[in-house]
Amino acid sequence: MKSDAVENLRDRTTRFALRIVRMYSALPSTVPAQVMGKQILRSGTSIGAQYREADRARSTPEFISKMESALQEIDETQYWLELLIGAGIVPAGKLAELTK
């Protein structure tokens, strides 16, 4: 049986991925927006997948490795969000909830 914390994180990563998908769909069709958007779409939706892989780990070292991968995807997603804001493609206020 899964703990509440595990279920909560599974739900949160799924909701985050869905928000990333919706954000990507709303981006302008300019080349920079689409290039950055595809990067964030990949990394932002990968977080939950990496977490689920960690949840199924067969050993502690495997769990740690998968969680490190999830953390790398989180950091990369944060980077792309910062670029979208810094390039003026999306106002910071529109991404406040995602960056939180």
CATH number (domain holding residue 53) = 1.20.1440.60
Query: Could you report the per-residue pLDDT of 50-96, keeping only the tens digit for each?
Result: 999 999 999 999 999 999 999 999 999 999 999 999 999 999 999 99
Q: Is a pLDDT exceeding 80 seen at residue 3?
A: no
Number of structural domains (the chain) is 1
pLDDT level of residue 2 (50, 70, 90 thresholds): low
Q: Look-up: residue for tokens 């991404």?
A: 95
- Residue 4's pLDDT is what? 74
- Domain carrying residue 17: 4-99
CA dist 40 and 25 (Å) reads 12
Query: Could you report the per-residue pLDDT of 34-47, keeping only the tens digit for each?
Result: 999 999 999 999 99
CA dist 29 and 39 (Å) reads 15
- Residue 88's pLDDT is what? 96
